A and B are shown apart, each in its own frame.
Chain A
Amino acid sequence: MTPVRILPAMLLCLLPVCVLAETAEEKALAIAVEADSRDSGFVDYTNDTQMILRNKQGQESTRLIRSKTLEVDGDGDKSLTIFDEPNDVKGTALLSFTHKEGPDDQWLYLPALKRVKRIASDNKSGPFMGSEFAYEDITSQEVEKYTYRYLRDDSFDGMDVFVFERYPIDEKSGYTRQIIWMDKEHYKERKIEYYDRKDTLLKTLLFTDYHQYQDRFWRAHVMYMENHQTGKSTRLLQSEFKYGTGLNERDFDKNSLKRAR
């Protein structure tokens, strides 16, 4: 998030007339911009993720991944994700360059073949590792990827929250809209409802166990995604957040992808 882009939103708030005239779209956009701004400036971090997939019959399967993320000035984040479990995909790695505009770039490294495969960028609505999280749910959530509309003030779990909708700009998205419950104190998501292409409620995501890092950045350690149409769910547990680890562009090139273990 560059200061240049925050500026118009700030100017808007300085003028009482404009505030009075602020539409639901402008209000929700301003919230999204503020949330993004509060989450900017982390430079880089690494973390571990455990995903527990559960089907309708209650059978569970576990995924373990390690991630490195680098903030990019003026564009979306770069990330390198290494799979540790299940054992058959151990060492498989995913390199993602998210972009504020246009499709993201993704390359998958298959260690058995030593092959780097480019992934079709339209594949954003597909499940990530068989979980209830789609690729588009877990990649960097850039402000520019949606349009917004404010719904109401509300309370959620004892917190004052903004409730607003966002609409994916990319027509390849699996959603018509998402409804976000965001707390007013830290501007963090507490709940998201995902509506499929027929505008039927598909999934609900709950964020809990937020921890603060670097005295600034709030990260949910538990994310629970429930699919209402299939009865399946995925519990995503994040841990070992480390900030300022000194990562640079070189840790996010195709050579680093081939070096992932």
Chain B
Amino acid sequence: MKTLLIAVIGLLPLANSQAGEWRGYVELEGTAFFEDPAFAEQSNSDLSIAAEPEYIQEWNDGDDIFTFKAFGRIDQRDNNRTHGDLRELSWIHAADDWEVLAGVGKVFWGVTEAVHLVDIINQTDLVESFDGEEKLGQPMIDLSLIRDWGVVDLFVLPWFRERTFPSEDGRPRFAIPIDTDDPLYESSAEQHHVDFAARWSNSIGEWDIGLSYFYGTSREPRFVILPSAIDPVAGTVSETNPLYEIINQASIDLQAIYGSWLWKLEAYTRGGQGDRFTAAAGGFEYTFVGVRESAIDVGVIAEYLYDGRDDEIGSTTIAAGTPFSTSPFQNDLVLGTRITLNDMQSTELLVVGIIDLEGNGQTFSMEASRRIGNDWIVALEGNAFSNVPENTSLVSFKKDSNIRVKLTRYF
């Protein structure tokens, strides 16, 4: 990987380069919780600052692009959330019928709103946001072959990034503290295991289609409780370790657009974490454009989530040394609305509820944002957990309903 980075940096001082450009943001964040915490280490509020500077340089009329993007956060409560990451350090070269990205980059696959099942190239930066939408930079070589019949992307991923998890002071966090210092790997190569992925994607009329295959270290770990973590007298568990196994995963993502309807489907089949299983999400977003002759758009979102795995973290039957998974959305309905005012301040509101159809509780999230002046965005986010029973992984968060304010200055 180091060789790769040196190679990327070595390409920088090219003679005919145009002036580079800095952009990014600085953000102040405050979070307040409605209830006293479930765990003694946690607090009722949190303050945090973050910054994400980015440097971009293009040359050869934009056929070559160098990108550097770093992220850093200081968090008042959670040491694991006080962290930095190299989000991007890459060189992109575009030719007539191919493109290559070499270095640290980010790739997104998928179409659905509530979950991102097929998006597998980058690891989730879970301490950043519990919805899993923030990602860690991934070292990669991505070769894109652009053909009449679609785009084929071939990925070599030479270094594995471990998922970030909140510390014991973090909130929300899992009931059993996760020992992120000592992850377990199936492959003896551990983080050095070279992972591969291939993807074909195309737009055909109203349809956008992607077929992907991944072989390598699972971004989503299972967990193992080591015998040493169990107090034999009290019967309590002090911690659990992430287990990163080698998986093979084939996936499809589909989107069709018909007038105001966007139909969406994501599904994968994964082998390598116990029995082979399937997960799928599908549904629609319908947009009412210009409601009542105003500029306001109102979108209605409905998705169904399926996951073939059991949600075992809440189960009392976990045996020491036996891997278990945490997947709360096995049979869930997503209902949401997206309201876009289309005003000068770009005011937006997204409210999403995930309802477990087996009676295992509901989670609600809200995101609202509005521009102030030319360079500031104020955002309000809320998360609520209700009727969560004891036997699900969501039980860890049942007292963690919260509201968060973010003030971001873009430059």
Contacts and interface: CB of A to CB of B under 8 A. Distances in A.
The 10 closest A-B pairs by CB, nearest first: A87-B410, A114-B108, A88-B410, A122-B260, A127-B342, A130-B344, A115-B108, A120-B287, A114-B106, A122-B259
Interface string A102-128: 010100000001111010111101110
A248 to B, nearest CB: 9
B262 A118 contact: yes
A256 B92 CA distance: 11
Contacts of B374: 61-62, 85-87
Nearest to A229: B293
A62 B344 CA distance: 9
Interface in B280-317: 287, 289-290, 293, 295, 297
Contacts, number: 104
Contact of A120 (B107, B151, B262): B262
B211 interface: no
A261 B375 CA distance: 18
Contact of B295 (A90, A105, A127): A127
A122 B262 contact: no
Given A105-B203, A120-B287, A130-B346, 17 more contacts: A61-B374, A86-B371, A86-B375, A86-B410, A87-B411, A88-B377, A90-B23, A114-B106, A118-B262, A120-B260, A120-B261, A122-B289, A126-B290, A253-B151, A256-B94, A261-B56, A261-B58
Nearest to A91: B23
18 contacts: A53-B344, A87-B375, A87-B410, A88-B346, A103-B259, A113-B108, A114-B106, A114-B107, A118-B208, A118-B262, A122-B259, A122-B289, A123-B289, A125-B289, A127-B342, A250-B96, A261-B58, A261-B65
Interface residues of B, number: 47
A125 B290 contact: yes
Interface centre among A85, A88, A174, A253 (most CB of B within 10 A): A88
A85 B21 CA distance: 14
Contacts of A186: none
A214 interface: no
B257 interface: yes
A130 B347 CA distance: 10
Contact of B255 (A86, A118, A261): A118
A259 B259 contact: no
A90 to B, nearest CB: 5
Interface string B145-170: 01000010000000000000000000
Contacts of A105: 203
Interface string B44-77: 0000000000001010001001010000000000
Interface centre among A87, A121, A127 (most CB of B within 10 A): A87
Interface centre among B144, B146, B201 (most CB of A within 10 A): B146
Nearest to A128: B342
Contact of B151 (A122, A174, A254, A259): A254
A88 B146 CA distance: 31
Contacts of B151: 253-255
Given A118-B208, A120-B259, A253 B290 contact: no
Interface in A10-61: 53, 55, 59, 61
A172 interface: yes
Nearest to B106: A114
A49 B374 CA distance: 17
Contacts of A113: 108, 133
B146 A253 contact: yes
A116 B297 CA distance: 20
A46 to B, nearest CB: 11
B23 A130 contact: no
A134 to B, nearest CB: 9
B41 interface: no
Given A85-B374, A130-B342, A123 B203 contact: no
Contact of B146 (A86, A127, A255): A255
Contact of A123 (B23, B62, B287, B375): B287
A62 B373 CA distance: 10
A61 B51 CA distance: 25
A196 interface: yes
Interface centre among B107, B108, B290 (most CB of A within 10 A): B290
A216 interface: no
B210 to A, nearest CB: 11
Nearest to B23: A90
Contacts of B375: 86-88
Contacts of A211: none
Given A86-B374, A121-B259, A255 B410 contact: no
